[in-house]
Structure formats: structure tokens, C-alpha cells
Structure 1
């Protein structure tokens, strides 16, 4: 059980990790503590804002809106990689989520599918909103991704948590898709690499991205649907399936490493997004569509 950091400790931890911090107004005392408890804390949750523009994004995350008063997070990560602190304490960012997911975060084990709205996440998670339209098309600049990595590692480092304590909103609450365009397995890999470094700071080497084999994926896509059960022909299938989940095309329980009919259908929809139709959108990965998926959701493609 971990008590939350003080506001001063929070800002200090972020700066020690090399984060560019912008303090907005009286952020240290701006919270929703009167509406419920804050803590114990168990993890870090990443969101996207569905907004455009730095000033407007920071303002709405600080003030909130008529249906949901602010602060809507603790920090706003803008596209330039700066982290704007808008509140500290209980914040309206996580809402109700799955108790099985919370237990997995506490135990630092793989996450189950989220299928319940039963636990108050505002109490237990540090929250960061990221400036992004959330349509799967708005880019995630390298500076912004690095800031997500750094804030997550800073908090995990302070509490002695592993990267498994970092989750996306889509992994917590059914129906959520954020942060769309950032594969959370990929981001946890980046956080893990940073935590394993000898010291915090911007000098750490950039973590490598996972890679998948196009030829092995094609073979799995052509043979898996006819196999009984859900045998795993190629473990790289999971990487692509996770990306299809992030793209909003595949249900998370279908991430099983088996390129079955659900994955075929989801990939065909991705091919249509890429401009293909007819036989060109058959659910069998091709070079161009797969590289586009990898560029957007954090993996590389080899032959």
C-alpha cells in the first residue's frame, strides 16, 4: 500500500527524470479531495484529451467542463513534450474501472480484460492527459512519447514499482480507447528499459521497438483460421493484434496470438483505412499496410 507523494515530491521526481515541468497556477492545492479519498496509489494511467492546441488543452484539463469538473488529471503532456501540472490530489480522470485489473496492477502481473465498472480509479491512479485528437490519425511526436515514458518511470521509480504499474485508460474501463495510437505494451517496454538504466535522465539510450516478420504473419494469417482451437503459430501475431486493439478494430480478449477469423476481419478493416478494397482488403497483411500499422502503433517490420 503506497501513500501518494506530496506535491513537492511529485514535481521533484518528474524533474529528476529529466521532464520539462510547467507549473500552472495553484496546482498543488487544486483537487477533488472533498469528493472522495486520494490514495493509496497503485499505478499511473495514461489518457488522450480529444482536443487540439496547447493552451485550450491545458485549460480544459485544469478547469474541466459542465459535466465533469476539473482537474481532469495531474499533468497534461503536450505535443512539445512539456508536462503541465494542473492539479494534485484526487482528479477526475480514471472513473470506475475493473477490480481484476486493479488487483493485477497491484500484483504487477499481466492485465486481464476489463469488463466491469466497479472500482474508483480516481483514488488509486496518478493520471496524465496527452494532447491528441484520439482519432488514430493525429500523430504522437517523439518528444511527447518520451515525456510519457519519463513521467511513468519517475513515479514508478519513487514508489519502487515496475513498468506493469503503468496502464492506459482503455485497459481500465470498458469502452475506452485512450490513448489511441500508443501501444501500451510498447510503452511499458520503454518504461522498463528506462527503469533498468543506471540512472534517471535524458541520456539513457532509446529503447528498441518490437519487430514482426511479415512472412511469418502471412503464413499464420493463411493457416490459423482453419486450425481447431487457438494455436499460436507465430508469437509476433500478438504484437499486431495489440496494435489492432489500439486502432479500435479488435476486442482485447481476442489478443491470443492466433490469427483467426476475428483478426482477419480486424486487419481487413485496417487495410480499408489504408485505402485498399476488394481483394486488397482480405485480412492478409501486406508490406505497406503492416508498416503503416507499425509506424503508428510502435513496432517495426522485417521480412
Structure 2
């Protein structure tokens, strides 16, 4: 065998001696500048591992000779942010929720904080865009069971809806006219059709007078004689196009027969007065606040 290295006929470059299926590997070494940069990165990585916390151990990690801690750096940034907004938070705590909109700086701060608090605590039920869903109110419209002015919203958020552990919670309950035998099925169906007619959904339905009287006897005390609801009772308007549990006849029959009653947590104790104010102002400015 010859000790002379094989030279590729086409490129004129020596080969390494590696061959597979007639294919030979050219001996093209890496550029020296690339090799030295590669060595430099190795040296840098070793220095980095010594200076910074980086190497995991069984129950701990190397601390690094530099004493750096990303957690400590984060805490410093959070402390700085808290100090920067401490003054605004103090002003929020001292200012009545109805007076905050008159202070543009405080209002911007409150709405920004309310948006963040909404995403964490409210979007799960009311939706990321506050559009609501079946059984959950839309917070963008102007239909408010308990009132949509700032003070009403603050009370609703702080004390919740039918939240038993809060003695100031909003509370209303519609009778189960079917389950409790107050009305028979035919009367309930007639009431459902009558309610749909109030909203213009059954233009061809004609009431002989008995169902209207049944509505006045059983429903008007909360929903009003005209069916437009009463905020002080938490009773919805039956004449608009907003239906929490559906507007079809069978859906209304079910709600009259065995009504569903939603529950909203009381956020006052959980989040504190300042965050409740922020949520109030955020929800109010969505567009449907009174």
C-alpha cells in the first residue's frame, strides 16, 4: 500500500481516508479564525459557569462567585415598581369611587389596574372581552340587573350575587312556578309566549287577557307591569333582546318552571377595596355603564 494521501481528481483536495460506497471525504479543515472563536466560546462558557449560578446539583445548584441572583434582581424591580405606584394606590384608597373619574391620572391608573385584575379574576365567567355567555352577563351592554352606575357596580363586585358568606350580598330569587305547583304547565307556557311577545318575538300571538293578568299577579311585582324590570330587585328587563338563559319558548318555560340562579363571589374581602374600585372603573368604562 502507498503512504501517499489520496487526492480528489475534481477538486484537487486530499481526502481523509474515509470512504463509503465509493464516496470519499475531502480533508477541508475549518478556518483558523473559526476554530479560535470556537475555543473562545468554550473558555467563556467555563468562566460563565464559575461566575454565575448555573450548574444543577442533586438538591441545590452552584451559586457562582459573582453573587448574582435573577430572583433578587426581579424583587428589586418589583420593589421599585411598587414604590412608583404607592402614591397612586394611596390616592385610590382615599378617593370615593364616584370621584375618581374626575382625576384623569388616577382614572388611567385605576382602569389599567382593573383590566389586569379582570383578566385574572373575572374573564373565566364573563369572557376575555367581557362579552359574557350563556348564564353569564355581558358587561359591554347597558342591561344591569342591579344597576350600572359606579356605586351600584362597586357594591355588586364587593359583595357578590347570592354569595352566602357575605351578609351584604345582592340577593333575589325567582319562584319556581312549576316545581312548586304555583302554576300549571299550560299557564307557564302561556306566560312564556306572553313574555316573548313583550320582546316582540311572537308578533302573531294574541292574549285573551287571562295571561296578562297572570303576569300581573305573579311577575309584575319584580319585573314591573310593563316587564321592563327593576334594578332594585335584581329583576331583568323582559322587553329587550338580552336573555341570560335563552329566548326560545322552551328555554323560557324552563326558567319559569324551575329557575336557575347564578352566583358571583364577593370580591371585597378577597381583593381589597382598592382592587374592587379598579375593577368597578374598568367595567364601567367598557361602554355599558350608566
Q: TM-score, normalised by structure 1?
A: 0.26
Which structure: larger Rg? 2
Q: Which structure features the higher share of strand residues? A: 1
